[in-house]
Amino acid sequence: MTQAMKIAIVDDEQDMRQSISQWLALSGYDTETFSSAEDALKTLGPDYPGIVISDIKMPGMDGMQFLKKLMGNDSALPVIMITGHGDVPMAVEAMRVGAFDFLEKPFNPDRMNELAKKATGARRLVMDNRALRRELSDGGQLMKKLIGQSPVMERLREDILDLGQADGHVLIDGETGTGKTLVAHALHAVGSRAGKKFVLVSCGAYEEEALSKRLFGPMMPEDAQLPAIEEARGGTLVLEDIEALSETMQARLLSVINEQGAPAETRIVAISNLQEAGRTSEDALRADLFYRLAALRITVPPLRQRGEDILTLFTRLSEQFSDEYGCDAPQVSAQEAAQLLQAPWPGNVRQLINVAERAVLQSRRGSGTIASLLMNDHEDMQPVMTTEGKPLKEYVEAFERMLIDNTMRRHRGSIASVMEELCLPRRTLNEKMAKYGLQRSDYL
């Protein structure tokens, strides 16, 4: 769930504090007020989940000193400065120091709302990126976003952490539904640009003229945002469906890349979806642009190559949907586990999410099977036989691991409860948990 953004209002005049707070509260914001910069600094730490609106002229620590303190603690904290008439030069200096913007008294409340909306949006993006970075630097948290123990997923996580620390442009390719945009977010979050702008543009969602304007401008005064190249300056610009760029657009992008030099002021992460179409991004892009973008490259593995990760993902997803719909998660039989493992999954993780949700819904109704859902998705797929001609041992081990994992999770790591439900002696359970890399501490 996205964290609600707060607005800290700092002003030595009580009437001003209250009026700003009341106006913003009426607009749906969660506000808190402080009568001095010194008091505010006791609350406004580096990860303050919101923005600051502060007067420039205050007794004791004035607004400029306050701003410098805040920027020293967290340079990505949006601070909107309130200035008196004739203090515009001071406001310009505040912008140079790092203020998000300024309001001149007497200010228009609608203008204040507009700035608050932009500032909280920017702060939310920073906080989301920081949260993702923390997840990626913590092995346990990492699993929540990039779940799986298969060799290809271990390699993907290593690539993200390695390339995230580099500064060159990146090309991410892979089949549809594999999570390429998540990988782009992760690259940004674990690198030196974390906390800077992260701008995503889907090149396939625009007509040629509109895409040119969105990427390169010029923007009109009434436009609410800068061209993406300017908006992402200093941060990361993600271009989804890079293959949708025309020759002309590719030439303009290459020119921008060349003008930036090295290291690049703005990192470009290009995402390509051409693998399943029998073509590659190298086929679709002019050679000089391709080699600039593909200096660093990540290929996100398809779900069918991830082995037992499929069962792990299905279990987590069905648990999430069962919580959402207020019912029990469906029980997976050995036959259905084999079916999940052998399915071709052309839609990859996105398709698995849909199957898990439908499995929970039909389980709530008390009808249908997981196998029937897969057969509906793949009409040419024959029912899986786990006897003759099939690697039975692999299916049995995958099912056994899933069963122990599910039971441990349900009983929150209670070994005695798991032994009783699965009718296993302690030694056997311990051996199987060691075999499958399951640790009791993960379920407590």
For residue 383, pLDDT over 60 is answered with no
| DSSP letters spanning 356-398 | HHHHHHHHHHT---HHHHHHHH-TTPPPP--STTS-HHHHHHH
| Range with lowest mean pLDDT among 124-138, 206-220, 402-416, 419-433 | 124-138
Confidence band (pLDDT; 50, 70, 90) for 385? very low
For residue 419, pLDDT over 50 is answered with yes
116-153 pLDDT, tens digit per residue, is: 999 998 898 888 877 766 665 543 444 457 888 889 99
Res 251: pLDDT: 94
Cis peptide leading into residue 263 (ω within 30°): yes
Res 53: pLDDT: 94
Res 191: pLDDT: 82
Distances (CA, A) of 407 to 1, 353, 416: 27, 22, 11
pTM for this model (two decimals) = 0.60
Nearest to 9 by CA among 92, 82, 108: 82
Distances (CA, A) of 92 to 12, 81, 100, 114, 120: 22, 10, 11, 19, 21
- Look up residue 129 and give its two tokens: 């990126």
| Alpha carbons 11 and 17: distance in angstroms, whole number | 6
Can you list the alpha helix ranges (DSSP code H) found in 43-200?
63-73, 88-97, 109-137, 139-145, 151-165, 180-190
| Alpha carbons 249 and 291: distance in angstroms, whole number | 16
Res 10: pLDDT: 95
Q: What is the mean pLDDT of residues 341-357?
A: 90
Cα separation of the two ends of the chain: 23
Treating both helix axes as pointing N-terminal to C-terminal, what angle do 109-137 and 180-190 enclose, rounded to 10 degrees? 90
Confidence band (pLDDT; 50, 70, 90) for 52? very high
289-321 pLDDT, tens digit per residue, is: 999 999 899 999 999 999 889 998 998 899 889
| Alpha carbons 120 and 123: distance in angstroms, whole number | 5
Res 274: pLDDT: 66
